[in-house]
Amino acid sequence: MKQFTYIFLLNFLFVSYIILSQTTAKIDSVNQIPYEYIVSHLKESVTTFEKNVALAQEVNYKYGEAVALDKLALAKGMSGEHTEATNAILRAARIFEKLNKFNELSMVYGGYGYGAKRRDIETANMYMRMGIGIAEKHDLDTNLTTLYDNYGVLKKMEGKNDSAYYFFSRALKIKRKIGDSVGIPYSLNKLAEMLSESGNYNKALAFMAESDAIRNKEKGEFGRAENLIYYGEIYRSMKNYKKAIHYYKQAIRKGKPLHYKYMVQYAYQQLAELYERTDRYADALENYKFYTVYKDSLNNAEMNNKIAELQIEYETEKKDRQLTEQALELKNKSLQLIIAIVSFVFISVIFFVLYKGYKQKQRHLRDEMQLHNQIKHNELEQKFTREKLRLSQELHDNIGSNLTFIINAMDNLKNIDDSKLLQEKINGVNEFGRDTINDLRNTIWALNFDKGDTSLLVMKVQDLRQKLNESLDKPEIMVENHMKNTIQLSSTEMLNLYRMIQEALQNAIKHANANRATVIFSNTESQLIINVVDDGNGFDPQTVKFGNGFKNMRNRCKTLLGKFSFESSSKGTILSFAISKK
């Protein structure tokens, strides 16, 4: 009978364990519903996470309960139910703090601080700093991307734009490093908004285009709705009120089904102001009424008082809990001392057994580390060697050949007796020397950037355009930038691309008899494309004898693993450089 009871108890415990494991797995699965889905399905998400909180409480799964409360707070807050959201977020914080879950705790504090930004900016800043402090202390990069972004929003609300731009940029840098496709658009949008406010509209729209490319791959509509608001802001700043109105209307159309009240309220407010500016007073009044309805539903004095009470309750409970824990810690010191002695004896017994294995493992790891360091050292040496060769080749091909020409020209001046001819020759050598200095400066400019981008290249070509136009009657040099986004370039790529453009313009100036030559930057998903187009007299590819300029352009393009091509007719010439950039 005793044996049967023992077996029954074992089976019961085993079955209970299996059921409990399945339940906790189900809770974890629900808690993994992504952010973009929650904010795009707010009513459904509230119901889902309320059930998940209750289920976690039934099985006493504290961690699962805290995560579900955090998700529930997000859905409640987005729906405008701030009292319930505050209650949920503070309950989650208590549990995470007890469990020493610093990753989750930092996000809970940061999330609560961000949610309080419209109600109490001082409280918002306090909780945001608490979250950031925990994340920085424990090197939680993923958390810091969100926390820096949200803290940037707070700084912007306070009018501290330099601080806001700094935190948005820090967040974007970490997101690019860890490949956070969900978070990158958020930072891009905020930076675009700030660039727009400072008048840098082209870069702002370029950031928004990059954000759109990522948002269009998302399943939910929330991100795309949010982007419409930012487009409205940019075009409003540009005083293009017609386009701004269009985007705010689109944001309302997408925001209403998402139950995102703040977005809809804000869009109605902006529409009312824009219609008033454009003297469409009937439309302004109608949109202001809609704005008022949404504003009243979100600003409830009783709700704010309840939130303040919950904050005080949370802080009081936290202090009481700390006092209780200190008393319990003092009471258990004797027991801890006994446990420590037993543990020491046990560790002493097994230490000798593990010591030899540990030392052997350490020697193995040390040998691996030495080998790894040697490999890294060799790779670095190879990189330095390649850079030296590349620099010496560049200096030899351009600066070296120019200096050789100058020396030979100076030697020839000794044999000229005609003072007028001598002065002309000296002037020519002087001009060639200035060109050589410019070549050297351009080389140094490119080599100064370990990691540049197409925006720097465009700026440098704009500078070249200005200098050429100041010294030439024709052709007129133009630069057009149709880049959809900024592309990273190495110093080698920067230098070679600039040299190719410089050579192409020199050909147009010397041989084309053109009225206009235009450098056009564009890109596809996989290529950077640069076209140099002139309206000159062209040439016949079958009969013309190509000089060193064409050969140099072709070789430089080949060095970049790109494709060099050209078209020419009596209407002009197009030189094209297509560089693969994925």
CATH classification of the domain holding 26: 1.25.40.10
CA torsion through residues 362, 366, 367, 372, sign: positive
pLDDT in tens, 181-219: 888 898 898 899 889 888 999 999 999 999 999 988 888
Q: Which amino acid is at 33?
A: I
Judge whether 73 and 89 are in contact, CB under 8 Å. yes
Residue 568 phi/psi, 5-degree rounding, is: -145, 140
pLDDT in tens, 42-97: 889 999 999 999 999 998 999 999 999 988 988 888 888 878 888 888 899 889 88
Rounded CA-CA distance 464/75 in Å is: 54
Among 135, 236, 229, 149, smallest CA distance to 188 is for 149
Last residue of a domain, one of 319, 343, 378: 319
Among 180, 210, 181, smallest CA distance to 195 is for 210
What range does the domain containing 100 cover? 22-221+279-319
Q: Is the pLDDT assigned to residue 388 strictly greater than 60?
A: no
Does 190 fall in a domain? yes
- The total number of structural domains that make up the chain: 2
Does 87 fall in a domain? yes
Does 204 fall in a domain? yes
Rounded CA-CA distance 482/488 in Å is: 16
Does 164 fall in a domain? yes
261 vs 531, which has greater pLDDT? 531
Does 430 fall in a domain? no
**Residue 302: its pLDDT value, please?**
47
Rounded CA-CA distance 29/16 in Å is: 20
Tell me the pTM.
0.39
Spell out the alpha helix ranges (H) of 448-490.
454-471
Helix (H, G, I), strand (E, B) or coil at 561: coil
Cα angle 35, 37, 41; round to 5: 120
Kindly state the tokens that stand for 534. Answer: 């002139």
Judge whether 82 and 307 are in contact, CB under 8 Å. yes
Does 396 fall in a domain? no
| For residues 276-288, average pLDDT | 89
Does 240 fall in a domain? no
Among 521, 529, 510, 514, smallest CA distance to 573 is for 514
Q: What's the burial of 538, exposed, middle or buried (CB within 10 Å: 0-12/13-18/19+)?
A: buried
pLDDT in tens, 167-184: 999 999 999 999 888 888
508 vs 429, which has greater pLDDT? 508
Same domain as 293, residue 151: yes
Rounded CA-CA distance 371/124 in Å is: 50
Q: What's the CATH number where 576 sits?
A: 3.30.565.10
Judge whether 578 and 529 are in contact, CB under 8 Å. yes
Does 522 fall in a domain? yes
